[in-house]
Each structure stands twice: as structure tokens, then as C-alpha cells.
Amino acid sequence: MSDADRTAATETEVETTMSEKPSQVATLPDEPATGNETKVRIRGLTKEFDASGRTVTALHQLDLDIPRGQFFMIVGPSGCGKTTLLRIMAQLDTPSSGELEIMGSAEGRPQNSMIFQGDSIFPWMTVWDNASYGLAMRGVPKAELRDTVGHYLDKTGLTEFKDAYPHQLSGGMRQRVSIARAFANDPDILLMDEPFSALDEQNKTLLQAELLRIWDETRKTVVFITHSVDEAVTLGDRIMVMTANPGTAKAFVDVPFERPRDVLDLRQRPEYGEIVYEIWQQLRDEVSRSQRSAREATPTRRRRFRR
């Protein structure tokens, strides 16, 4: 399945799950923001997959609280269950056991929008149609749709490309369309799975700065997966470092930098380097453990030659 198809599936499934939520997921009535009220509450979350008769425990007994309006980052070795966790939060998958509560979802708005690593947009639609897709599906009045989509295309520097098709845009511009669409959609939570990891360093830095600028207007609750420790410290309020095989929370690191942030200025600060180092300390053992188990699970040709 292509990323665009998966997005289409995501949006359709999310539409469906808005009324029919899996039994483990509870949505409570909306409450006024108090600054530290919990938006996402996870207790004892375990997810097992059946992989050709073998049980793979992707997530094990995960506990997590994310306050409303927090920019929450997840880092962890490849295969530790990050995408699985995000898919469960998006209600595209159900936990094997444990609880997930998403508090205070507003009526008539989608609970979440998801942005993936690859293209999350429809290749057959223009930039404008892609960005307005969620609102059009919800039957938002034309004038409101025009204002909202116009605003986010402006914010992402895409106004003059509104009639272009995705194949006419660079990878960075296509991710901008995803960002414009996600914010225009006005979801309760924004779920982002390594959205910038396919971009070169310069584009990544530009997009991080743009994302922070747009996010500052709304301060939506964001759950953002990255494999880049730098990106986690640059963007996040709080970072969860995950263990490898099975995945669970190993450490939580708070990022003390004020908002709004200047992405480049931040990197010069001594505290920036200290936090990056602290996270690497936590991550190092997990990365080697995950590489070791990947080697053990794969009977390589090299090993056979050695005998």
C-alpha cells in the first residue's frame, strides 16, 4: 500500500472510529484547558502481534500521561513499537491489554490527524484540494474552508503552488502540504511519525522552524516520533526514550527551553548539548540491544561462512 493510500485509509478509518471506538479507548467530555490537565492517559498498554505463529510483543506495560497542549516526543531504537503506539493512539489498531484514554474531544472535529515519513498526500489532487480534504469531507461551509486553507497554505509558503500537483513539488514542499492539511483539519491531537526523516538537513531545519511557528498559534497536543535526538530536543517539551524489544518507557526528559524557540539559536546553547548527551546515554544501550536481537533473529550468510 502506498503512503497516500494508507493516508486515505487512515482518514476513512478515523472518520469511522469517531463514532465507533474500540472498547479499550474512552473519550471523555470536553473540559476547559487548565494548563496541566491530562489529554492522553495510557496505563499498562501491551500490544502483541502474531507473526507466523510466533508472538511478538511490540509494547509492554506502557504507562504515559500527556498534558493538553504538550509537544511530546518519542525516541527509541528501530522496531521498539513507536509506530504501533501511534497507530493505537490514532485508533487504527487496538491494544492487546491496558487502557488508552483521550480526554475532551470536541464534537464535530476529528480526534487526530496523522503525518507519516513519506508522502501523506494524494498524488491525484492539487495542493489546495489536498489541504482542504479533511474540511471538505466534514462539510465545512465554503467561506470557512477558504479562509482556513488559505491561512495554512500561506503559513507554509504554498499559496503560489495551490494549483500544483504533488509530483511538481519537492519532498519538503510535499511535507508542507501534509502539515497545512493537518493543521487546517483542526484535529484534537496531531500525530507525526518521523515526518522529516526523508528530508535533507537544510530542508529539515527549515521545516522544523515552520512547524514550530505554526504550532505556536494553536498549541495543539502533538505526539511526534523521531529517530533524531537533535530533533527531539529542538521541538519537544518532553521526550520519552523507549526500550528495545519490547518497547516501554525507559526515561522521560523535560526540555526547559522557552517558547517560541529559535531553532538555530537553540543549538548554540550549552544546555542543548547537555540534554542531547543525556538522551544518548539513555538510548545507547537500547540501540545496541536492538541491533543484537536483530542479528540473532537473522541467520546471516556471513555467520554461516564463518563456520
Ligand X SMILES: Nc1ncnc2c1ncn2[C@@H]1O[C@H](COP(=O)(O)OP(=O)(O)O)[C@@H](O)[C@H]1O
Q: Are 75 and 227 in contact (CB under 8 A)?
A: yes
HSE (CB half, 13 Å, CA atoms) of 44? 5
DSSP output for 196-230: TTTS-HHHHHHHHHHHHHHHHHH--EEEEE-S-HH
Please report whether residue 60 would count as binding ligand X according to CB under 6 A: no
Q: Which of 72-80, 160-168, 203-211, 215-223 is the region at the interface with ligand X (rule: CB under 6 A)?
A: 72-80
Intra-chain end-to-end CA distance of the chain, in Å: 40
Query: Cβ 178 to Mg ion, closest distance in Å?
Result: 16
Query: Cβ 86 to ligand X, closest distance in Å?
Result: 8
Please report whether residue 288 would count as binding ligand X according to CB under 6 A: no
Footprint on residues 14-53 left by ligand X (CB under 6 A): 49, 51
Please report whether residue 78 would count as binding ligand X according to CB under 6 A: yes
Q: Site for ligand X (CB under 6 A): which residue of 4, 81, 175, 240? A: 81
Q: Which of 73-81, 110-118, 197-205, 216-224 is the region at the interface with ligand X (rule: CB under 6 A)?
A: 73-81
| E strand segments, 89-183 | 97-102, 112-115
Task: Select from 100, 113, 110 the least CA-distant residue to 22.
Answer: 100
Beta carbon nearer to Mg ion, 82 or 162: 82
Q: How far apart are CA 256 and CA 88, in angstroms?
A: 29
Q: Which residues bind Mg ion (CB under 5 A)?
A: 82-83
Q: Which residues bind ligand X (CB under 6 A)?
A: 49, 51, 56, 58, 76, 78-84
